[in-house]
Amino acid sequence: MGLNIGQSNGKTPDRGHGLYVTALVMVIVAGFSVIGRLAARWMKRKFGMDDYTIVLSLVEAVVHGYGKHKKDLTHEELMAALK
Consecutive 10-residue runs of the chain (83 residues): their mean pLDDT?
57 69 87 93 90 89 68 79 73
56 in Cβ contact with 64 (< 8 Å): no
Q: Identity (one letter) of the amino acid at 78? A: L
Q: Give the pLDDT score at 65.
A: 54
- pLDDT at site 1: 47
Q: Are the C-beta atoms of residues 77 and 63 closer than 8 Å to each other?
A: no
Q: Max CA-CA distance within the chain?
A: 55
Q: Global pTM?
A: 0.60
